Amino acid sequence: MVKANLIGVVLLMEVILRFGVDGLSMQYYIMSCPFADQIIKNTVYNALQADPTLAAALVRMHFHDCFIEGCDGSVLIDSTKDNTAEKDSPANLSLRGYEVIDDAKEQLEQQCPGVVSCADIVAMAARDAVFWTGGPFYEIAKGRKDGRRSKIEDTINLPFPTFNASQLIKQFGQHGLTAQDMVALSGAHTLGVSRCSSFKSRLSNVDPTLDSDFANTLSKTCSAGDNAEQPFDASRNTFDNFYFNALQRKSGVLFSDQTLYTSPRTRNLVNGYAMNMAMFFLDFQQAMVKMSLLDVKERNEGEVRGNCRKIN
């Protein structure tokens, strides 16, 4: 266990150095806001004790933030009469957990005003949500600045639930993420649910990649309407490898889930993670660290918002 942790730390540092994010640091707030990590962790843990389903929401928020304009907190910005922001895109309407970020930000502004960025809060909240639900702990460098752009049209760059493995590999590759990173990050679907509107197209025709009994389960879910929710796996609030076991049984909820097992390019990764949860955890934490560094704003490239919902 100690050896595995040491390897993880070494690989984590290698990722940071390779990406050249020299303005970020593990100890970024050690002098300017030494209790930042603890405040965010306590806020997240308190929120999850009240509503465990928020864990999936916080991880998803981080992903949706990083894939649009980089990890810069742009997904948090509210629309105005002059601009429709990312959060009002159809792809983001089901995002939740904004109040957790607001709560952490308010406490941080009282302790150390104008210091901790909303982008860092989102990244750290996702990290803490993964650990709270039983997943691996990974540390991330801090120092991201908040972006000043948030536009609905940019969300076209989010992956669609109808994507096949080749499309997913291509889109993740545009962000410097490998096929292995993509499959590991998809494992975050071990948390949470999907709405019927995202998978009902699989039910209108016979889908050979979908188990017939599970298709009946999905049909029953959708009988309650487009907003009816189906858990991605049997342990929706626990971070484990059950998601990959479900794919092996042809019980992936989204087409973009099941395609990971259907495609020869990614099937071995699914089988590996289904058999070895420790390997999944290690690859997931490395992929999350890597994703958290996508197109970050540093120094004067962004700002530290006083209110996460609007530009200063």
Question: Is 64 one of the catalytic residues?
Answer: yes
Give the C-alpha separation, 107 to 56, whole Å. 23
- Could you tell me the end-to-end alpha-carbon distance of the chain, in angstroms, rounded to an integer? 45
In the 8-state DSSP scheme, what is residue 79? Answer: P
196, 253 Cβ separation under 8 angstroms: no
Determine whether the annotation assigns residue 128 to a binding site.
Answer: no
Determine whether the annotation assigns residue 51 to a binding site.
Answer: no
Please give the C-alpha separations between residue 226 and each of 62, 189, 200, 222, in angstroms, as whole numbers.
25, 19, 8, 6
Determine whether the annotation assigns residue 62 to a binding site.
Answer: no
Q: 225: how many CB neighbours lie within 10 A of its CB?
A: 10
Cα 104 vs. chain centroid, distance in angstroms? 18
Determine whether the annotation assigns residue 159 to a binding site.
Answer: yes
Strands of 32-124, DSSP E: none
Residue 272: which of 207, 180, 198 has the closest Cα? 180
Residue that the structure tokens 């679907």 belong to: 189
103's tokens? 């709560």
User: Looking at the chain, how many residues does it have?
Assistant: 312
In the 8-state DSSP scheme, what is residue 80? Answer: B
Determine whether the annotation assigns residue 70 to a binding site.
Answer: yes
Determine whether the annotation assigns residue 72 to a binding site.
Answer: yes
Of 40, 59, 63, 64, the active-site residue reads 64
Determine whether the annotation assigns residue 207 to a binding site.
Answer: no
Determine whether the annotation assigns residue 240 to a binding site.
Answer: yes
1's tokens? 């266990």
Burial per residue of 19-47, b for 16 or more beta-carbon CB atoms within 10 angstroms, e otherwise: bebeebeeebbeeebeebbebbbebbeeb
> Which residues sit in the known binding site?
65, 70, 72, 74, 86, 159, 189-190, 233, 240
| Annotated binding-site residue numbers for substrate | 159
Binding residues for heme b: 189
Residues tagged in the binding site annotation for Ca(2+):
65, 70, 72, 74, 86, 190, 233, 240
| Catalytic site positions | 64
